[in-house]
Amino acid sequence: LINATLDFWLTAGEYAKKFENKLANYLGVRNSLLSNSGSSANLLALSALTSEKLGKQKLISGDEIITVAAGFPTTINPIFQNNLTPVFVDINLNNLNVEIDKIKKAFTKKTKGIMLAHTLGNPFRADLFKNFCKENSIFLIEDTCDAFGASIGVEGKAKLAGNFGDFATLSFYPAHHITTGEGGAVITSNKKLRRVAASVRD
Protein backbone atom coordinates (compact mmCIF):
# COMPACT_ATOMS: atom_id res chain seq x y z
CA LEU A 1 0.00 0.00 0.00
CA ILE A 2 2.82 2.40 0.90
CA ASN A 3 4.80 1.55 -2.25
CA ALA A 4 1.75 2.07 -4.45
CA THR A 5 1.14 5.42 -2.74
CA LEU A 6 4.75 6.53 -3.14
CA ASP A 7 4.71 5.47 -6.81
CA PHE A 8 1.58 7.64 -7.11
CA TRP A 9 0.14 5.14 -9.57
CA LEU A 10 -3.52 5.74 -8.74
CA THR A 11 -5.14 3.46 -11.30
CA ALA A 12 -4.73 -0.26 -12.02
CA GLY A 13 -1.08 -1.07 -12.59
CA GLU A 14 1.62 -3.44 -11.38
CA TYR A 15 -0.05 -4.31 -8.07
CA ALA A 16 -3.46 -4.83 -9.65
CA LYS A 17 -1.93 -7.22 -12.19
CA LYS A 18 -0.17 -9.20 -9.46
CA PHE A 19 -3.40 -9.40 -7.49
CA GLU A 20 -5.37 -10.56 -10.56
CA ASN A 21 -2.81 -13.31 -11.25
CA LYS A 22 -2.68 -14.53 -7.63
CA LEU A 23 -6.46 -14.46 -7.39
CA ALA A 24 -6.87 -16.55 -10.55
CA ASN A 25 -4.23 -19.03 -9.35
CA TYR A 26 -5.86 -19.39 -5.95
CA LEU A 27 -9.30 -20.01 -7.43
CA GLY A 28 -8.01 -22.34 -10.12
CA VAL A 29 -9.31 -20.29 -13.06
CA ARG A 30 -7.43 -18.81 -16.01
CA ASN A 31 -8.46 -15.17 -15.75
CA SER A 32 -9.27 -12.61 -13.11
CA LEU A 33 -10.33 -9.07 -13.95
CA LEU A 34 -10.56 -6.39 -11.28
CA SER A 35 -13.49 -3.99 -11.15
CA ASN A 36 -14.47 -1.09 -8.91
CA SER A 37 -17.00 -3.20 -6.95
CA GLY A 38 -18.72 -6.56 -6.72
CA SER A 39 -21.90 -4.92 -7.98
CA SER A 40 -20.04 -3.73 -11.06
CA ALA A 41 -18.54 -7.21 -11.47
CA ASN A 42 -22.07 -8.63 -11.73
CA LEU A 43 -22.99 -5.98 -14.30
CA LEU A 44 -19.79 -6.62 -16.28
CA ALA A 45 -20.35 -10.37 -16.37
CA LEU A 46 -23.91 -10.19 -17.63
CA SER A 47 -23.24 -7.27 -19.99
CA ALA A 48 -20.37 -9.20 -21.58
CA LEU A 49 -22.84 -11.92 -22.55
CA THR A 50 -24.75 -9.41 -24.73
CA SER A 51 -21.67 -8.75 -26.89
CA GLU A 52 -21.76 -9.13 -30.67
CA LYS A 53 -18.49 -11.05 -30.28
CA LEU A 54 -20.52 -14.03 -29.05
CA GLY A 55 -22.44 -14.31 -32.32
CA LYS A 56 -25.60 -16.43 -32.04
CA GLN A 57 -24.86 -17.16 -28.38
CA LYS A 58 -25.22 -13.53 -27.30
CA LEU A 59 -28.07 -12.54 -25.04
CA ILE A 60 -30.70 -10.30 -26.61
CA SER A 61 -33.51 -8.17 -25.22
CA GLY A 62 -36.25 -10.31 -23.70
CA ASP A 63 -34.12 -13.39 -23.09
CA GLU A 64 -34.89 -15.00 -19.74
CA ILE A 65 -32.38 -15.27 -16.92
CA ILE A 66 -33.30 -17.51 -13.99
CA THR A 67 -32.41 -15.99 -10.63
CA VAL A 68 -33.39 -16.21 -6.99
CA ALA A 69 -36.45 -14.48 -5.53
CA ALA A 70 -34.77 -13.94 -2.15
CA GLY A 71 -31.49 -12.33 -3.11
CA PHE A 72 -29.43 -9.18 -3.42
CA PRO A 73 -30.52 -6.39 -5.79
CA THR A 74 -27.00 -6.35 -7.23
CA THR A 75 -27.52 -9.88 -8.57
CA ILE A 76 -30.88 -8.98 -10.10
CA ASN A 77 -30.34 -5.39 -11.34
CA PRO A 78 -27.93 -6.36 -14.17
CA ILE A 79 -30.73 -8.44 -15.68
CA PHE A 80 -32.97 -5.37 -15.90
CA GLN A 81 -30.08 -3.11 -16.95
CA ASN A 82 -29.47 -5.32 -19.99
CA ASN A 83 -33.18 -5.46 -20.96
CA LEU A 84 -33.38 -9.13 -20.07
CA THR A 85 -36.26 -10.83 -18.26
CA PRO A 86 -35.72 -12.22 -14.75
CA VAL A 87 -37.46 -15.47 -13.88
CA PHE A 88 -37.62 -15.80 -10.11
CA VAL A 89 -37.35 -19.10 -8.27
CA ASP A 90 -37.58 -19.63 -4.52
CA ILE A 91 -35.00 -20.99 -2.09
CA ASN A 92 -35.02 -24.14 -0.02
CA LEU A 93 -35.38 -23.03 3.62
CA ASN A 94 -33.06 -25.81 4.81
CA ASN A 95 -29.99 -24.49 2.98
CA LEU A 96 -31.16 -21.04 1.76
CA ASN A 97 -30.23 -21.88 -1.82
CA VAL A 98 -32.04 -22.68 -5.05
CA GLU A 99 -32.04 -26.34 -5.96
CA ILE A 100 -31.76 -27.80 -9.42
CA ASP A 101 -35.34 -29.15 -9.55
CA LYS A 102 -36.74 -25.60 -9.30
CA ILE A 103 -34.41 -24.47 -12.08
CA LYS A 104 -35.67 -27.26 -14.31
CA LYS A 105 -39.30 -26.27 -13.67
CA ALA A 106 -38.55 -22.61 -14.49
CA PHE A 107 -36.66 -23.44 -17.69
CA THR A 108 -38.31 -22.49 -21.00
CA LYS A 109 -37.17 -22.11 -24.60
CA LYS A 110 -36.53 -18.43 -23.79
CA THR A 111 -34.13 -19.25 -20.95
CA LYS A 112 -30.60 -18.19 -21.88
CA GLY A 113 -28.86 -18.11 -18.52
CA ILE A 114 -28.83 -18.60 -14.77
CA MET A 115 -27.44 -15.96 -12.40
CA LEU A 116 -27.38 -16.90 -8.73
CA ALA A 117 -25.48 -15.96 -5.59
CA HIS A 118 -24.05 -18.48 -3.17
CA THR A 119 -26.30 -17.40 -0.30
CA LEU A 120 -24.35 -15.81 2.57
CA GLY A 121 -21.33 -17.95 1.72
CA ASN A 122 -23.32 -21.19 1.66
CA PRO A 123 -22.64 -22.56 -1.83
CA PHE A 124 -25.33 -23.99 -4.06
CA ARG A 125 -24.64 -27.17 -6.06
CA ALA A 126 -22.90 -25.34 -8.87
CA ASP A 127 -21.65 -28.64 -10.29
CA LEU A 128 -25.22 -29.72 -11.04
CA PHE A 129 -26.08 -26.29 -12.41
CA LYS A 130 -23.02 -26.34 -14.67
CA ASN A 131 -24.07 -29.69 -16.14
CA PHE A 132 -27.63 -28.45 -16.67
CA CYS A 133 -26.40 -25.29 -18.41
CA LYS A 134 -24.05 -27.26 -20.64
CA GLU A 135 -26.82 -29.69 -21.63
CA ASN A 136 -29.09 -26.78 -22.57
CA SER A 137 -26.44 -24.44 -24.06
CA ILE A 138 -27.13 -21.61 -21.61
CA PHE A 139 -24.84 -19.45 -19.48
CA LEU A 140 -24.13 -19.73 -15.76
CA ILE A 141 -22.96 -16.78 -13.65
CA GLU A 142 -21.95 -17.51 -10.06
CA ASP A 143 -22.22 -14.50 -7.77
CA THR A 144 -19.48 -15.57 -5.38
CA CYS A 145 -19.26 -12.24 -3.55
CA ASP A 146 -20.15 -13.87 -0.21
CA ALA A 147 -18.44 -17.20 -0.86
CA PHE A 148 -14.77 -16.52 -1.51
CA GLY A 149 -12.92 -19.72 -0.55
CA ALA A 150 -16.07 -21.84 -0.14
CA SER A 151 -15.77 -25.30 -1.67
CA ILE A 152 -18.22 -27.62 -3.39
CA GLY A 153 -17.63 -31.37 -3.36
CA VAL A 154 -17.57 -32.89 -6.81
CA GLU A 155 -17.03 -36.66 -7.20
CA GLY A 156 -15.02 -36.82 -3.98
CA LYS A 157 -12.92 -33.78 -4.87
CA ALA A 158 -13.79 -30.31 -3.65
CA LYS A 159 -13.55 -27.37 -6.05
CA LEU A 160 -13.78 -23.76 -5.02
CA ALA A 161 -16.95 -21.80 -5.74
CA GLY A 162 -16.38 -19.69 -8.83
CA ASN A 163 -14.97 -22.59 -10.86
CA PHE A 164 -18.26 -23.68 -12.36
CA GLY A 165 -19.82 -20.72 -14.15
CA ASP A 166 -18.97 -19.12 -17.47
CA PHE A 167 -18.37 -16.15 -15.17
CA ALA A 168 -18.08 -15.79 -11.43
CA THR A 169 -17.91 -12.54 -9.49
CA LEU A 170 -16.29 -11.39 -6.27
CA SER A 171 -16.58 -8.40 -3.96
CA PHE A 172 -13.76 -6.95 -1.88
CA TYR A 173 -15.92 -4.55 0.10
CA PRO A 174 -14.92 -4.51 3.83
CA ALA A 175 -17.81 -6.82 4.81
CA HIS A 176 -16.34 -9.68 2.75
CA HIS A 177 -13.57 -12.23 3.27
CA ILE A 178 -10.76 -10.08 1.95
CA THR A 179 -10.89 -6.39 1.20
CA THR A 180 -9.33 -3.77 -1.01
CA GLY A 181 -11.51 -1.11 0.59
CA GLU A 182 -13.72 -1.01 -2.47
CA GLY A 183 -13.38 -3.33 -5.42
CA GLY A 184 -14.48 -6.56 -7.00
CA ALA A 185 -13.51 -9.01 -9.71
CA VAL A 186 -14.88 -10.99 -12.62
CA ILE A 187 -13.33 -14.42 -13.04
CA THR A 188 -13.53 -16.80 -15.98
CA SER A 189 -11.53 -19.51 -17.70
CA ASN A 190 -12.92 -18.47 -21.09
CA LYS A 191 -10.42 -16.27 -22.96
CA LYS A 192 -13.04 -14.68 -25.23
CA LEU A 193 -15.34 -13.83 -22.31
CA ARG A 194 -12.43 -12.32 -20.40
CA ARG A 195 -11.56 -10.13 -23.37
CA VAL A 196 -15.15 -8.95 -23.82
CA ALA A 197 -15.52 -8.22 -20.08
CA ALA A 198 -12.27 -6.24 -20.11
CA SER A 199 -13.52 -4.23 -23.08
CA VAL A 200 -16.82 -3.45 -21.33
CA ARG A 201 -15.00 -2.50 -18.12
CA ASP A 202 -12.42 -0.30 -19.84
Q: Which residues does the annotation mark as catalytic?
A: 176
Give strand ranges (E) for 37-194.
64-68, 85-89, 111-117, 139-143, 151-154, 157-160, 167-171, 184-188
Q: How many degrees, rounded to 5, is the angle at CA 43 between CA 100 and CA 13?
A: 125
Enumerate the H helices of the chain as residue ranges. 2-7, 14-27, 38-48, 73-81, 100-106, 126-136, 191-201
Instruction: Evaluate whether 123 touches 164 at the Cβ level (below 8 Å).
Output: no
Say how far apart CA 35 and CA 42 lie, in whole Å: 10
> What single-letter DSSP state applies at residue 91?
P
Determine the Cα–Cα distance for residues 148 and 167; give it in Å rounded to an integer.
14
Report the C-alpha gap between 44 and 50 in whole angstroms: 10
The secondary element (H helix, E strand) that includes residue 59 is: none
